[in-house]
Amino acid sequence: MLVVMQSGATPEQIEAVCDAIRAMGFQPVAMPGAQRTAVGLIGNDRPVDGSPVAGMPGVAEVIRVSQPFKQVSREWRAENTVVEIAPGVAFGGRNVAVIAGPCSVESEAQIIASAHAVRDAGAVALRGGAFKPRSSPYSFQGMGKRGLELLAKARDETGLAIVTEAMDEEGANLVAEYADCIQIGARNMQNFSLLKAVGRMDKPVLLKRGMAATIQELLLAAEYVLAEGNTRVILCERGVRGFDPATRNIFDLSAIPLVHKLSHLPIIADPSHGVGLREHVPSMARASIAAGADGLILEVHPNPDRALSDGAQTLHTEQFARLMHELSTIATAIGREMAHPAGTVAGRAG
């Protein structure tokens, strides 16, 4: 339920509505807007009778939120949410931002070279896994804390924001010390204890769609984070598991406009995991921007053939540079612009 206040509603009237919602056993969330304030009601998973507040002074109307996800829904918030992960690095506005880098942090030389290459080509954030959830227990699992330290060093040298994955609550606390944005990977999209943990943190969250998750399940996973108080969530379409082994996944481009219709949260695309084949990543990256994605996350490595993970879907640095020029043309054609990296700044760990 959403209580829309009149444009001239006083702070006392707004607080009275909040008190009434608390008396009903629910939690009010006041959302001041440019024209008027709305008060949302959370803590319910079924329809609520709004008549106790409908006639209160200052109330314009009571709207029933029809979706099972409340705070994530477009009904709850009509305007797009812009999520800033670092000064000048934002998702959800007019600019299209690109996160790029290797699947895994492998060495200091590798991550520093990757950072400089993707920044020079126009990326605004660096990706790289310090903790890697792998299907096989014998595959490279990441460098752990040392990998986070190297990511922070790459940020110091290039000014790029850092996006990296956390696999559990303990790891999320450690990632939060070093990264600008905590990634929740596809395998953990419905790790509800982890979602609640990052929801209590003061860090932006990049939430990837699960390998067999519906759009509603993705949005409900985001609701877990918002319900804990963290409204800075970026969604990510990265493909779902299909029956055809010709590509790694079925890259669901239709999810991008659909999420924009259902939710105010920004959504980016991950064509690297979406198709799993280097030769097809550029075309799907271009299609993602045309479909309205607010950004991309791409795997880029100085020497993909020697990468310790996901080399087959990883772009060469030269390919990435060419792709960024192509993306700029597409963004302009649909009335948007590619975001540009900020000047070199000091590290922002912590």
pLDDT at 344 over 50: no
Q: What whole-number distance in Å separates Cα of residue 311 and Cα of residue 158?
A: 24
Domain shared by 282 and 139, yes or no = yes
Q: What is the mean pLDDT of residues 164-185?
A: 96
Query: Is residue 137 domain-resident?
Result: yes
pLDDT of residue 48: 83
Per the structure, the count of domains in the chain is 2
Task: Kindly state the tokens that stand for 4.
Answer: 């829309």
Q: What is the mean pLDDT of residues 337-343?
A: 87
**Residue 70 DSSP symbol:** -
Domain shared by 38 and 118, yes or no = no
Query: Is residue 155 domain-resident?
Result: yes
CA torsion 160→161→166→169, rounded to 10°? Answer: 140
pLDDT of residue 140: 66
Structural domain containing residue 239: 83-338
102: confidence class by pLDDT, cuts 50, 70, 90: very high
- The residues with which 83 forms a beta bridge, in sequence order, are 91
Phi/psi at 302 (nearest 5 deg)? -60, -30
Apex 287 CA angle, 285 and 293, nearest 5? 75
Q: What whole-number distance in Å separates Cα of residue 181 and Cα of residue 3?
A: 32
Q: Within 13 Å and on the Cβ side, how many CA atoms surround 226?
A: 28
pLDDT tens digit string along 254-271? 999 999 999 999 999 999
pLDDT of residue 49: 85
Among 92, 163, 171, residue whose Cα is nearest residue 123? 163
Domain shared by 43 and 90, yes or no = no
Domain shared by 97 and 43, yes or no = no
Looking up residue 174, the CATH number of its domain turns out to be 3.20.20.70
Looking up residue 28, the CATH number of its domain turns out to be 3.30.70.1140
Domain shared by 268 and 302, yes or no = yes
142: confidence class by pLDDT, cuts 50, 70, 90: confident
Query: Is residue 279 domain-resident?
Result: yes
